[in-house]
């Protein structure tokens, strides 16, 4: 099963480096992944359900990169929420830049909205879990915390889109990371 999923994810990434998701067929995915269509349909009802799985896989890759970035922070130094979030945002931006054509195709696709909703929900959930953990005793009411986490995640998604629309994304990366981190810091009351 993992082999099938890995093959489909690699095939989709490869295909989306050349074309938008709308232009990719299940047959193309299966041919590139070297699996049968019956195998595809054994795991996914349709191409849209697979794309949800694919987006979640991308998110998982970015989360793992973020964890590795936190692990690479200076040993022995205090790892503040600000420093950890900066490492995660930097790793995410690097991932996007490493897969620039893929991201361009996703952002120009009708599936972009779905991808951004999934990323925003997971980001808000992550902010909420981290804030609730850090604030243990004196945490604000859960509704307030949830609203601030959702707002921070939505703001970061909007900043992501603005950054991605820049002519020179690479030179704007550090400003994007810094602005996102400062936004989250203010909203989460760190």
Reported as a single tens digit per residue, the pLDDT across 35-55 is 999 999 999 999 989 988 888
pLDDT tier at 125 (50, 70, 90 boundaries)?
confident
Q: Contact 173/180 with Cβ under 8 angstroms? A: no
Question: Is pLDDT above 90 for 119?
Answer: no
Please report where in the chains the tokens 């009411």 appear, as a residue.
Answer: 141
pLDDT, residue 78, reads 61
Q: How far apart are CA 73 and CA 75, in angstroms?
A: 6
Distance CA 132, CA 145 (A): 8
For residue 139, what pLDDT band results from cuts at 50, 70 and 90? very low
Q: pLDDT averaged over the chain?
A: 85
CA angle 14, 170, 78 (to 5 degrees): 100
Residue 146's Cβ-side half-sphere holds a number of Cα atoms within 13 Å equal to 4
pLDDT per residue as tens digits for the range 67-108 = 787 777 776 656 677 888 888 888 889 988 988 988 888 888
Pick the closest to residue 148 from 114, 189, 108 (CA basis).
189
Largest CA distance in the chain: 55
Q: What is the pTM of this model?
A: 0.78
Indicate the DSSP class of residue 77. S
CA–CA distance, 74 with 169 (Å, rounded to integer):
27
């Amino acid at each position: 099963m993992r082999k099938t999923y890995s093959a489909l994810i690699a095939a989709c990434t490869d295909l989306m480096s050349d074309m938008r998701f709308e232009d990719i067929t299940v047959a193309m995915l299966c041919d590139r992944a070297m699996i049968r269509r019956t195998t595809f349909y054994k795991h996914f009802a349709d191409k849209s359900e697979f794309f949800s799985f694919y987006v979640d896989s991308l998110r998982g890759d970015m989360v793992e990169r973020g964890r590795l970035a936190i692990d690479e922070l200076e040993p022995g130094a205090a790892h503040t929420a600000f420093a950890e979030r900066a490492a995660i945002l930097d790793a995410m931006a690097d991932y996007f830049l490493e897969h620039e054509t893929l991201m361009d195709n996703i952002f120009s696709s009708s599936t972009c909205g779905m991808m951004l909703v999934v990323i925003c929900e997971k980001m808000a959930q992550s902010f909420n879990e981290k804030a609730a953990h850090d604030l243990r005793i004196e945490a604000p009411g859960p509704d307030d915390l949830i609203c601030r986490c959702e707002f921070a995640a939505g703001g970061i998604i909007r900043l992501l889109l603005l950054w991605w629309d820049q002519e020179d994304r690479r030179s704007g990366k550090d400003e994007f990371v810094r602005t996102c981190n400062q936004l989250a810091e203010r909203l989460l009351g760190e």
